[in-house]
Amino acid sequence: MADLNLGQNNVGRYLEVQYMQVVQRAGTGGTSNIGPGDTVRRSNGSIVVTGRIMKTNGAYCEMDSSGSGFTGWSKCSELRLVSKASPESAAAAAASTAPSGHTAVLSIVPGFTTQSGTANPVGNHGFYLLKDGAETAFAKGGFRAPAGTPVVKAMNAECEKKTPDCRTAIAAIIADSATAVKTDADGKATLPPVPPGVYYLFGIGQYEGKPLVWNVRVQIKPGPNSVTLDQRNGTVLDR
């Protein structure tokens, strides 16, 4: 990830790598409890800056401290959370940097009540917004289940064994995804904006020691949308 800060609407076509410093490798950096739309505060000695989170990328957060659209990246750990965004505010923050036509934003809401110190079944898991149902996505990507075995159960079994067929299944899901997100520890997340339409929210959590799979059909309209995930709209897989 590189923060080039070339100025609004300016493009730098050629940059010499020798003058750039890698601050975070792609796919690394962990996660943060800070998300788009949240209000945060950063202190640099005697200077205190308050702003809104526009995007996050691993351990880094993009903060707009002026409301003008001129932003900068900081380590999320260096920011103090002032207030969490409502689902509507999070959706608006995500949509503000979306491509043209991507006007629909989906927020994931956990439907489980958990005690303090107990993991939420929806928390800390990846979720994919599929253009087709999971079964169709697997078939298009070349993943086949043994006769008589549900395809999602077959995928979970292969991935527990870390086989090449697991990689085929995961590649099929990624190829069919319009977008994806990882939930926070509480099971909440807002996906990047997509064109309005019908999608399938796919993900696997853990419920009472067993995999719990969601493949939920959602019709997303322009603006903020939400879906609640619990055991009633998921399928528990018996090993």
- Three-state SS sequence of 46-65: CEEEEEEEEEEECCEEEEEC
CATH number, domain of 180, equals: 2.60.40.1120
105 has a pLDDT exceeding 50:
yes
Which alpha helices (DSSP H) does 62-220 contain, by range? 87-95, 134-140, 151-160, 164-175
Q: Could you tell me if residue 178 is inside a domain?
A: yes
Report residue 17's pLDDT band, with 50, 70 and 90 as the boundaries.
very low
Find the domain containing 68 and state its range.
17-85
More confident residue, 15 or 81: 81
Do residues 112 and 69 share a domain? no
Contacts of 208 (CB under 8 A, 6+ apart): 236
Do residues 72 and 141 share a domain? no
Do residues 149 and 223 share a domain? yes
Tell me the pTM: 0.64
Do residues 122 and 210 share a domain? yes
Q: Say if CB 181 and CB 194 are below 8 A apart.
A: no
Do residues 195 and 79 share a domain? no
Count the domains in the chain. Answer: 2
Residue 228: predicted pLDDT: 96
Do residues 206 and 156 share a domain? yes
Lowest mean pLDDT among 109-118, 162-171, 215-224: 109-118
3-state secondary structure of 125: coil
229 has a pLDDT exceeding 70:
yes
Q: Among 29, 52, 85, where does a domain finish?
A: 85
pLDDT tens sequence across 18-53: 445 565 554 455 566 788 888 888 776 556 677 788
Do residues 108 and 75 share a domain? no
